[in-house]
Amino acid sequence: MNQRPWMRAVSSFVTVIIVAGALYSGFFFFSTVRALVAQAPLPFADRVVQAADPVATLEISQPSEGEPQQVVVAPTSQRKLTEPVNVLLLGIDQREGESGPWRTDTMILVSIDPVNNTAAMLSIPRDLWTTIPGYGESRINTAHYTGDLRDYPGGGPALAKKTVWYALGVPVHYYVRVNFSGFEKIVDAIGGLTVDVPDAIRDAKYPTADYGIMEIYIPAGVQQMDGVTALQYARTRHSSSDFARMDRQQQLLLAARDKVMSLDIPITRIPAILDLVGSSVQTDLTLEDMFLLAEAARNVDRSSIRSGVIDGSMTTTVITPQGWMVEVADWDKVRALVNELFPTPGQAGAGE
């Protein structure tokens, strides 16, 4: 019984990894990780700007051309979130032995509103045609690739954040980036996910790590998925569409939330999970940021999580002169959805 508080702290840390690192779990932390800070190095937190004087909110400046935004934070003991915090989740197709740069296979914008105790998530199609600030028009999934390739300040994640901000008009405070191998291992480490598959999936051209293809089959009904199957469920689109794929990713997000909320993790699994963090996950969230998000997200009930997808009702498929198949948005429809999911602070109905 003396270990129970420690185990709860470990479970909280694993929640951070699954929710922030595994991409499909959102930011539904349910406790604090303070008890683990002194016991485990956390190499994935790589940037924070400490404020000279205590502040009560996140201060973030509108990005300008060629400059990454700066997030100013105050010491944990003095801080309290008073406005929504938005985090961009990025999934990259990083394969063993490759050094990049990589396009983003998945982009999900997640928000936590600490005032109204709500959360929201928006899936962005990787083929969405938009402006990459400073680099012209292209698919939105090339922003990360271009940022790394062109040595943009802050690299691919910074340019991806800036691009999403410009496209949607929503500030992007932080990012979390994960590779797919890491996602598989983390899902396995916490015992897999339970997913109710609405329709059977058969994909004869699922991409393999060595750039080949294979056939996969996932039957309909409640399935216990290991890491490999969960990733296949999240990534496949040859038997459906990119829009259906985004729906499945959000389904996995909620399944992961339910799983980590009920975890009682054996101590023997903890070292392996911690070891995965450094190589699989990159973020500009610090432990300090995570503490605050944990305090806010623990108050979010599942029924208060809003979700949306920029889908075919808001886009038109177009072939560019280069022969690329892209999705051109009806921006009035997209921004109506964005305003519904991410209302500005103080906006009427924000807590409904």
- pLDDT value at position 189? 72
The phi, psi pair for 206, rounded to 5°, reads -70, 130
pLDDT band at 310 (very low <50, low <70, confident <90, very high): very high
pTM across the whole model: 0.73
- pLDDT value at position 56? 31
- pLDDT value at position 78? 55
Q: Which class does domain 4-189+266-341 fall in? A: alpha beta
pLDDT band at 16 (very low <50, low <70, confident <90, very high): very low
Is residue 162 over pLDDT 90? yes
The residue that leads in pLDDT, 94 or 153, is 153
- pLDDT value at position 207? 85
CA separation for the pair 41, 135 (Å, rounded): 37
Instruction: Please answer whether residues 252 and 233 qualify as being in contact, where contact means their C-beta atoms are separated by less than 8 angstroms.
Output: yes
Tell me how many degrees the CA angle 126-131-132 measures, rounded to the nearest 5.
Answer: 80
- pLDDT value at position 209? 76
Per-domain boundaries in the chain = 4-189+266-341
